[in-house]
Amino acid sequence: MFTISRRSLLKISAASGLMAALPGGGAWAAEPKRGGHLVVASGGASTADSLDPRTFGSPYTAVMSGITYNSLIEVHGLDMELRPGLAKSWEPANGGKSWIFDLVEGATFHNGKAFTSEDVVFSLKRHAEEASRSNMRSIIKGVSDIRADGPNRVIIDLPEANYMFPAMLTAFSLGIVPAGTTTFDGVGTGPYKLKRFSPGEVLEAERNENYFKSDAAFVDSLEFLAINDASALGSAFQSGQIHLTTLLDARTAPLMRQMQNLKIYNTEGRGFICFNMRTDMAPFDNPDMRMALKLAVNRPDMLERVSVGVGRIANDTPVAPSDPVFAADLPQTEYDPKRAKELFDKTGFKGPLVLQTSEAISSRAVDMAVIFQEHAAKAGIPIEVKREPSDGYWETIVGQTPFHVSARSDRPTADAIFSVAFLSTSGNNECKWVNKDFDAAVIAARAEPDLEKRKAFYATAQKICREDGGTIIPFFSSTVEGTTSDLDGFVPSALQMAGYRAIEQVWFA
């Protein structure tokens, strides 16, 4: 159970006043102000976390990436607008087979080293190494070349045209480190310099006075706390021990909205919690088993019970209704216990299906597994829910065992989520699903500059994913986040924590 230190409470009091004493709503600053100590928290942490960006893959490390590192391109706002990061501009060449990135000038790393194209080439190529655990390994390994063209320009060559490629470089695991780095201690170009990191507990940092963005990094220092227990996270936030948090329980949001010392943001996103079936393992190598389980989920009931209806029903494809290439004409998979039982019986499988879940994903992941068990039982499909410890779940269960709960964060484009998590060539394809027609549709969509023609390819990909894929996606999650009333500058985004960069954007009023 989380407890905040006396030292942290003293810092909060000195910086902003005790939260319980705030008048209704607080007073907003007209302009950003510098100063104060910020306390942030999130779930999804592990004692196995490291400061190597290649290992980032959880909600906690996603936010951590925006503290000490920068990527080439950032995602902002509800429309997932691509904006400059360490790349100030980018443009296609050679019919979309090459992309030219012009870099910001004057940026420096925390150790004083000047940022150049050499650092970008080194940082990106590391993801393709054989020992890399990166969720972007298949993407970077698939490019033809990454090369410097002078100190402030990088050119990336691709094997085929891809007009969606720049969105890939927004990934939170693609933080840039100094060329030649072998020991990862948080040295990046980011808004805050690392002071202390205790995996699974806390990251402490102080303002980077030489940050290349003049309109960011307003607080003097911060603590980023790891609180995996949803109840503890909510309690700490409500009591004023935390200024900024994400992954709040949607079921408690109505209560928190009534509290004058808090501001609550509920944002429709494209992320989701899912049930993964390893399609290379029995009995999930049988398409009838996969479809039986998809028909055995009562999606509206699960959404209502897990998130009090906050979210949007999904259709076993990762493309959300807010995406411009969403296939609105694709028939919705409905709860059909009778048909589910027929398909299940057809497989000849008798024993219970063991479904592994954990609060490492979120408290909702455990609830969803139990509700799924209940729905499937009505179809005569026996599911045994096995609750696993949080520590090590992402490393030893997700993508490893036959049937388990996982989660995917929001991505700026359909190509980004398909390429990272569903293509057969991706090492981050947790279901080990292989469908050549699906792969062909996604690859064709990338190379099509016309949006309407691209939509047709994506419609095909979504249809195949829904009918044959190994991922059950009951609904798209809405992200519930919050700040204390004396914190200004937070702008909700379709990605959690303002595109993982909220910490550099907020200030005390």
DSSP of 131-198: T---TTHHHHHTSSEEEESSTTEEEEE-SS--TTHHHHTT-TT-----TT--S-SS-SSSSEEEEEEE
353 and 469 together in one domain: yes
pTM value is: 0.79
Choose among 423, 455, 449: nearest CA to 324.
Answer: 455
The answer as to whether 419 is a domain residue is: yes
Mean pLDDT within 316-324? 92
Encode pLDDT of 111-154 as tens digits: 999 999 999 999 999 999 998 989 899 899 999 999 999 999 99
The CATH number that applies at residue 409 is 3.10.105.10
Q: What is the pLDDT of residue 30?
A: 60
Confidence of residue 390 (pLDDT cuts 50, 70, 90): confident
The CATH number that applies at residue 245 is 3.40.190.10
The answer as to whether 177 is a domain residue is: no
Q: What is the pLDDT of residue 15?
A: 34
459 and 382 together in one domain: yes
101 and 86 together in one domain: yes
340 and 410 together in one domain: yes
Tokens at residue 120, please? Answer: 């970008």
**What is the average pLDDT value for the chain, to the nearest integer?**
91
Q: Are 51 and 68 in contact (CB under 8 A)?
A: yes
364 and 252 together in one domain: no
Our count of domains for the chain comes to 3
Q: Are 69 and 176 in contact (CB under 8 A)?
A: yes
Q: What is the pLDDT of residue 428?
A: 87
Confidence of residue 6 (pLDDT cuts 50, 70, 90): very low
Tokens at residue 328, please? Answer: 């609105």
Q: What is the pLDDT of residue 465?
A: 98
The answer as to whether 175 is a domain residue is: no
244 and 380 together in one domain: no
Q: What is the pLDDT of residue 288?
A: 98
CA atoms within 13 A on the CB side of 55: 16
Encode pLDDT of 159-218 as tens digits: 999 999 999 999 999 999 999 999 999 999 999 999 999 999 999 999 999 999 999 999
257 and 286 together in one domain: no
Q: Are 80 and 416 in contact (CB under 8 A)?
A: no
The answer as to whether 111 is a domain residue is: yes
96 and 221 together in one domain: no
Tokens at residue 59, please? Answer: 């909600």
302 and 247 together in one domain: no
Confidence of residue 392 (pLDDT cuts 50, 70, 90): confident
The answer as to whether 117 is a domain residue is: yes
The answer as to whether 93 is a domain residue is: yes
319 and 465 together in one domain: yes
329 and 444 together in one domain: yes
79 and 61 together in one domain: no
The answer as to whether 1 is a domain residue is: no
The answer as to whether 178 is a domain residue is: no
Q: Which domain holds residue 336?
A: 270-476
Tokens at residue 81, please? Answer: 């607008």
Confidence of residue 8 (pLDDT cuts 50, 70, 90): very low
The CATH number that applies at residue 137 is 3.90.76.10
